[in-house]
Amino acid sequence: MKNALLPLLALIAVSPVYAATATDNAFLNLADEYISDLTNISPSNATSIGDHSADDKLDQVDAAARAERRELLIEYITALKALDTDAMARANQIDAEILLNKLEYDLWSADELQEWAWNPLYYIRISGGAIYGLVARDFAPIETRLRSASARLSEIPRFLKQSREAIQPERVPKIHAETAIKQNPGLNSIIDTMIIPVMGALSADEQEQLNAAIEIARDAVAEHQTWLEEELLPRAAGDFRIGKELYDTKLAFALNSPLGRKEITARAEQEYENIRNEMYAVAKSIYLKKHPYTAFPDDPDESYKQAIIRAALEDAYKELPPANGIVAVAKQQLQQAIDFVVEKNIVTMPDEPIEIITMPEFQRGVTVAYLDAPGPLDSEQPTFYAVAPLPEDWTEEQIQSFLREYNIYSIQDLTIHEGVPGHYLQLALSNRYPSTLRAVLRSGPFIEGWGVYAEQMMILEGYLDHDPLMKLINLKWYLRAITNAIIDSAIHVDGMTRDAAMDLMVEGGFQEEREAALKWVRAQLSSTQLSTYFVGYQEHLELRAAVEKAWGDEFTLRRYHDQVLSYGSPPVKHVRALILNEPIPLRDD
């Protein structure tokens, strides 16, 4: 990697006339080298972005591999910092900032956060994703993908053995061990549902090889399951709370935003009050339809507002999907959202394929749904909107609690967020931006903030004919994003208890018990990610307000949305700089 940069760096040092062009070329060369090196850093991640040159390899996760990756990160950081950022084109300045943040984040994560030593889910997601990524999309003939899967399955014993050697049981939080026990068998479900049914495409000899690899992998998964249950879980004694120092540093890297923990909490607490009051106003209009002679007090207390909001929400909860029909409902509502976006000329509607699927087993237990877009190098492949089925061990009471939370209106809001004009639409348009680096290192707050923005914007534009029940549920979902941001730092920094978190989510945020209970699990398993929704939305709101002011009468939703999404998915602060021609925010500013 260094040798490829030396001639360009020497040119920059001695030739100021060509400095800008040489610096840009040096950076683009460095970016290409980084993308190419992802196959060395993580073959499974390379597959996910669409680089299939190492599809037959599985990540090395032992101490030697960690040391090698660390050295590589330092080399890239050194080379990147040697470039004169001011001499670059604005687009390259942004990509350089994004890359430096990612490199330093990865180095800090390896050295300080050290999930490799205490999070067994880190390894399960790699192994499950490595096989799933080969068979989920038709990026190559099925025979080619099955051969790669056979090679990776054969490496599962080595990979899981390395993971057991790396994990320090006394540092593992119990919740992480318990979740790993649930997710580990998910690899078998990928084999059973996505590999075995298509094995006939191979020759007899290759089928025999694949069957042998499958048995090797199944035995390794079973061995790992025994270790998780009998060795790891009894010894798991770590604290899932990462603490103030780690949290604040991780938050700065993960958000790449001017907003810090204290300001995020202050904003979220203020919005919490504002949105609850707005929910009360909407709930009154719903309540009056059933009880037209109600005289509401001029200055109601919080318990009165709570009762009126809950009464109105009960009307929304009467519209429930079938327990086994959530995917079908989401499909119908996705088309409904698409039709509205086109009719109202809200944003360019992409034609990239999207499929609504049942969430793979190895991904379950953290969230109800997610959007799985193809890698930037596989942009012609379908996007998956994955929805988790209800757990088989739930009681009827738990099922009803879940269905009340994910009523017909809630699934509509979720489909807007994950589908149109949310993640699917945003990522499909963003992937058209020519920088592969920017697509690979896309910003979580930009993406999740856009999803929340899409929810709110669609309702303001009159989706479902201004139905007040849809408006109420929409506000409830935004309140969820707000409480997410509050509990994220409160749990990991301030020691918030489960009871306090559940009270805030159930009583304060009107969430059903199942939703809040799952969120408590998610908050233990992750840190900082729950803040991305609220922070990203706040930044999108501020961006739109600034652009509306700058453009004046020339502002239209279609023009604004298309331009915002034309830059890929960088941090919102960079999109603002590009649209309003402001200085590019640099890390040293």
Q: Are 140 and 377 in contact (CB under 8 A)?
A: no
Q: Are 247 and 489 in contact (CB under 8 A)?
A: yes
Mean pLDDT of the chain: 93
For the entire predicted model, the pTM comes to 0.92
What average pLDDT does this structure show over 474-489?
98
Residues 58 and 115: their CA atoms lie apart, in Å, by: 19
Domain boundaries, the chain: 2-241, 316-579
Low-confidence winner among 345-349, 360-364, 465-469, 496-500 (lowest mean pLDDT): 360-364
Length of the chain: 589
Residues 538 and 449: their CA atoms lie apart, in Å, by: 7
pLDDT digits (tens, 9 = 90+) for 395-432: 888 888 888 988 999 999 999 999 999 999 999 999 89
**Cα-atom radius of gyration of the chain, to the nearest Å?**
25
Residue 573 CA neighbour count, 13 Å, CB half: 17
Per-residue pLDDT at 380: 82
DSSP 388: P
Residues 85 and 92: their CA atoms lie apart, in Å, by: 8
pLDDT digits (tens, 9 = 90+) for 428-450: 999 899 999 999 999 999 999 99
- pLDDT-above-70 percentage for the chain: 95
Write the CB contacts of 584 (distance below 8 Å, at least 6 apart in sequence): 90, 93, 94, 97, 574, 577
Provide the 3-class DSSP secondary structure of residue 188: helix
Residues 327 and 506: their CA atoms lie apart, in Å, by: 26
Per-residue pLDDT at 131: 97
Residues 149 and 291: their CA atoms lie apart, in Å, by: 62
Q: Which residue has the tokens 């998915």?
A: 569
Q: Nearest to residue 227, comparing CAs of 188, 153, 177, 179? A: 177
Q: Are 216 and 157 in contact (CB under 8 A)?
A: yes
**Whether residue 377 has pLDDT greater than 90:** no
Top mean-pLDDT range of 2-6, 40-44, 363-367, 397-401: 40-44
Beta bridge partners of 357: 386
pLDDT digits (tens, 9 = 90+) for 38-92: 998 999 999 999 999 999 999 999 999 999 999 999 999 999 999 999 999 999 9
